[in-house]
């Protein structure tokens, strides 16, 4: 299988279970790996034979703007939205991380990785 990858998409968003997270927000990073057959696009050189990653970015941006308690929920929504908009996508791997999560100590990020 072929892949399109979008790395280090960064957003300020309002995900978290604590009221302060929902009020002030945090920085989140999204990495995507999208499984798709790229053989036709590799010959045709036409955007119509692949997925437009600018549209993928807009999907991710839209889903990141909807507050959720859990990273798992946000990641699942992103996967469902991409697969719903682009039926030619065979699979999506997402890594969604929250920078400086609210823990009693030092941690750079917490993250979920999902496949569908």
15: Cβ–Cβ under 8 A, 6 or more apart, which residues? 21, 22, 26, 28, 67, 68, 69, 70, 71, 74, 98
Catalytic residue, from 8, 48, 83, 98: name it: 98
Asked about 61 being catalytic, the answer comes back as no
Eight-class DSSP state of 71: H
Please list the active-site residues.
98
């Amino acid at each position: 299988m072929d892949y399109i990858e979008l790395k280090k998409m960064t957003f300020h968003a309002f995900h978290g279970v604590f009221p302060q997270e929902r009020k002030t927000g945090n920085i989140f990073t999204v990495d995507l790996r999208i499984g798709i057959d790229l053989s036709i696009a590799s010959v045709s050189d036409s955007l119509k034979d692949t997925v437009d990653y600018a549209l993928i970015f807009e999907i991710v941006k839209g889903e990141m703007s909807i507050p959720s308690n859990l990273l798992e929920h946000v990641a699942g929504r992103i996967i469902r939205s991409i697969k719903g908009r682009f039926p030619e996508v065979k699979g999506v791997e997402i890594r969604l991380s929250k920078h400086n999560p609210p823990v009693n100590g030092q941690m750079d990020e917490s993250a979920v990785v999902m496949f569908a």
